[in-house]
Structure 1
Amino acid sequence: MHGQAILCAADPVVNASVGKLVMVYALCMGVLGCISTGWWTSRSDRVGRVPVLGLGLFGLLFADANFIFVAKFSKSLPGNYWWFVLGALVEGIFGSISTLNATIHAYVADTVEPHSRVHIFSLFYGLIFCGSALGPTVGGLIVRFTGTPLSVFYMGLCIHTRESRRQYDQNILRIQQEATDAPILARFKRLFGFLSPLSVVWETTGRRRSLKAGARGDWSLILMVTSLGVAALLKGSYSYKFQYALAVFGWSSEQLGYLLSVVGFTRAAFLTFILPVIIKLIKPKPPPAPAVQLPETPNEAFGQETETAPLRRNAHAPQSTTQSIVFDLNLMRVSVLIEVVTFLAMPFAGSSLMFSALTVINCFGIGRAPTSQSVSLALYAQRGGTESGKLLGALGVLQIISSQILGPALFGTTFVKTIATNPAAIFFVSALLVGISLTLLLCIRVPETVQDVEEPLDAEESSALHR
Structure 2
Amino acid sequence: MSSLNGLEEETEESPLLSNNVTIISLPSRIEKIRKPHVLWMLIFSITLSSILTSTTAPLVRFVLDIVCLEYYDDKNIDNTLTPPSEEDCKITEISALASKYLMWYQMFSYLAATLSIGFLSTLSDYHGRRFIFRLATLGVIISFSNVIFVYHYWRIVSVKFLFVGAIFEGLSGGVIAINTACHAYLSDCTRPENRSLVFGIMHAFAFCGMTIGPTLGGVIVKSTNSVISVFYFVVCALLFFLVFVSFILPESLSKELRHQRRVSSPVSSISPRHLFSSLTILKQEPVNYDEEERRNSWSSRNTMYILSVIYLIYRLSQAGQNDIITLYTTQRFNWSTLENGFFLSLQAFTRFIALILLLPLCRLLQTKYLSSYSHSLDIHMTRAGLIMEIVGFALFASAIVPNMLYFACVINSLATIATPAIRSLFTMYVLPTQAGQVLGALSVIESVGSIFSPLWMNPLYSWSVRKGFSEIVFWANSLLFVIASFLAFLIR
Measured after TM superposition, the shift of residue 339 of structure 1 is 1.2
Q: Which amino acid aligns with 2:406?
A: S
**What stretches of structure 1 of length at least 5 have no aligned partner?**
287-318, 446-467
Measured after TM superposition, the shift of residue 131 of structure 1 is 1.0
1:131 to 201, 209, 216: 209
> For the residues of structure 1 that align with 2:429 and 2:280, how far apart are their CA atoms?
15
Give the secondary-structure state (helix, strand or coil) at the position aligned to 1:423: coil
2:404 to 354, 366, 378: 354
What do the CA deviations read for 1:390-416 (whole angstroms, capped 9, x no partner)?
43332222222212x222121223223
Is residue 2:130 matched to residue 1:54? yes
TM-score (norm 2): 0.64
> For the residues of structure 2 that align with 1:425 and 1:68, how far apart are their CA atoms?
32
2:442 to 382, 395, 401: 395
Is residue 2:463 matched to residue 1:417? yes
2:142 to 66, 75, 83: 66
8 Å CA contact 1:275–1:367 kept in 2: the answer is yes
Give the secondary-structure state (helix, strand or coil) at the position aligned to 2:385: helix
> Structure 1 31/280 Cα, relative in aligned 2: closer, same or farther at 3 Å?
closer
Measured after TM superposition, the shift of residue 40 of structure 1 is 4.8
2:70 to 12, 17, 29: 12
8 Å CA contact 2:288–2:428 kept in 1: the answer is no
What do the CA deviations read for 1:302-326 (whole angstroms, capped 9, x no partner)?
xxxxxxxxxxxxxxxxx96x83322
8 Å CA contact 1:68–1:153 kept in 2: the answer is yes
> Structure 1 61/254 Cα, relative in aligned 2: closer, same or farther at 3 Å?
closer
> For the residues of structure 1 that align with 2:397 and 2:99, how far apart are their CA atoms?
28
Which residue does 2:488 correspond to in 1? 441
8 Å CA contact 2:310–2:484 kept in 1: the answer is yes
Measured after TM superposition, the shift of residue 233 of structure 1 is 0.8
> For the residues of structure 1 that align with 2:304 and 2:349, how far apart are their CA atoms?
32
Greater shift in the superposed pair: 330-339 or 239-248? 239-248
1:432 to 479, 488, 491: 479
Measured after TM superposition, the shift of residue 380 of structure 1 is 3.1
What do the CA deviations read for 1:30-60 (whole angstroms, capped 9, x no partner)?
112212334455777xx49x93x43431232
> For the residues of structure 1 that align with 2:289 and 2:359, how far apart are their CA atoms?
32
Is residue 2:333 matched to residue 1:249? yes
8 Å CA contact 1:106–1:392 kept in 2: the answer is no
Measured after TM superposition, the shift of residue 242 of structure 1 is 2.8
2:262 to 177, 180, 201: 177
8 Å CA contact 1:229–1:399 kept in 2: the answer is yes
Q: Which amino acid aligns with 2:477?
A: S
Q: Which amino acid aligns with 2:447?
A: I
Identity %: 21
8 Å CA contact 2:278–2:441 kept in 1: the answer is yes
Give the secondary-structure state (helix, strand or coil) at the position aligned to 1:155: helix
TM-score (norm 1): 0.67
Q: Which amino acid aligns with 1:335?
A: G
Which residue does 2:173 correspond to in 1? 95
Q: Which amino acid aligns with 1:244?
A: Y
> Structure 1 68/338 Cα, relative in aligned 2: closer, same or farther at 3 Å?
closer
**What stretches of structure 2 of length at least 5 have no aligned partner?**
1-61, 74-88
> For the residues of structure 2 that align with 1:25 and 1:32, how far apart are their CA atoms?
11
Which residue does 1:157 correspond to in 2? 239
Measured after TM superposition, the shift of residue 22 of structure 1 is 6.0
8 Å CA contact 1:42–1:393 kept in 2: the answer is no
Q: CA RMSD in A?
A: 4.6
Q: Higher relative contact order by CA 8 Å / sep ≥ 6: 1 or 2?
A: 1
Measured after TM superposition, the shift of residue 61 of structure 1 is 2.1
What do the CA deviations read for 1:379-434 (whole angstroms, capped 9, x no partner)?
3336x515x1x43332222222212x222121223223322243221121111111
Measured after TM superposition, the shift of residue 232 of structure 1 is 1.0
8 Å CA contact 1:55–1:94 kept in 2: the answer is no
Which residue does 1:229 correspond to in 2? 312
8 Å CA contact 1:105–1:392 kept in 2: the answer is no
Q: Which amino acid aligns with 2:277?
A: S
Which residue does 2:9 correspond to in 1? none
Give the secondary-structure state (helix, strand or coil) at the position aligned to 2:375: helix
> Structure 1 106/341 Cα, relative in aligned 2: closer, same or farther at 3 Å?
farther
> For the residues of structure 1 that align with 2:148 and 2:406, how far apart are their CA atoms?
40
Equivalences, count? 389
What do the CA deviations read for 1:143-178 (whole angstroms, capped 9, x no partner)?
859x95423222122224323555499699759936
Measured after TM superposition, the shift of residue 375 of structure 1 is 2.3
> For the residues of structure 2 that align with 1:108 and 1:218, how far apart are their CA atoms?
35
Q: Which amino acid aligns with 1:98?
A: I
Give the secondary-structure state (helix, strand or coil) at the position aligned to 1:345: helix
| Alignment of structure 1 residues 262-301 onto 2, 5 Å | 262-276=346-360, 278-284=361-367
Is residue 2:282 matched to residue 1:198? no
8 Å CA contact 1:263–1:360 kept in 2: the answer is yes
> For the residues of structure 2 that align with 1:247 and 1:373, how far apart are their CA atoms?
36
What do the CA deviations read for 1:60-94 (whole angstroms, capped 9, x no partner)?
22124435776899999xx9799876664454335
